[in-house]
Amino acid sequence: MLGRRKKVRTDWRLETGVRIPEKGRREKSMGQKITKFEDLEVWKEGIKLAVRIYRELKDCRDYSLRDQMQRAAVSIPSNIAEGYDRNTNKDFIHFLYISKASCSELRTQIYLSKEIGILKKETCNELIESTRKISAMLFKYIKVRKEKF
């Protein structure tokens, strides 16, 4: 029918805390509208990880690896934020991919720091799990942005 708008299902949720209602709108899983990138659960997890990386590496004397790990950690939520404020869905997805790649880069560096003894094995395992969680959240969010927007 002409003039009728197709509605998109709104009753499912993602680990990102985002559900997709009508096209062009973003909402939290509790029905609150997402109006800024700070509302995204994946961004919040990225911030937590970056803060943890900074705290864990504050006494690290391998300045090169420390700097690289900190930059990769900061890149995760930063690219989510930058992409969110872009004008197009295509740009947003592009920045989500960059964020996911930074997550993989950081995970690799955590493995390295584990092997050379810069960080404790237990700490590394927790950080690796955190990067996997964020990467999975980003993967799901990218999929939703591609399919529903």
| 129, pLDDT greater than 90 | yes
Which CATH number applies to 18-148?
A: 1.20.1440.60
What would you report as the CA-atom Rg of the chain, rounded to the nearest whole angstrom?
18
Backbone angles phi, psi at 120, to 5 degrees: -65, 150
pLDDT at 16 over 80: no
Where are the domains positioned within the chain?
18-148
State what percent of residues in the chain have pLDDT above 90: 74
DSSP-derived letter for residue 28 is: E
Does the pLDDT value for residue 2 go beyond 80?
Answer: no
Mean pLDDT of 47-71: 97
Task: Tell me what pLDDT residue 33 has.
Answer: 79
E-assigned strand segments in the chain? 18-19, 27-28
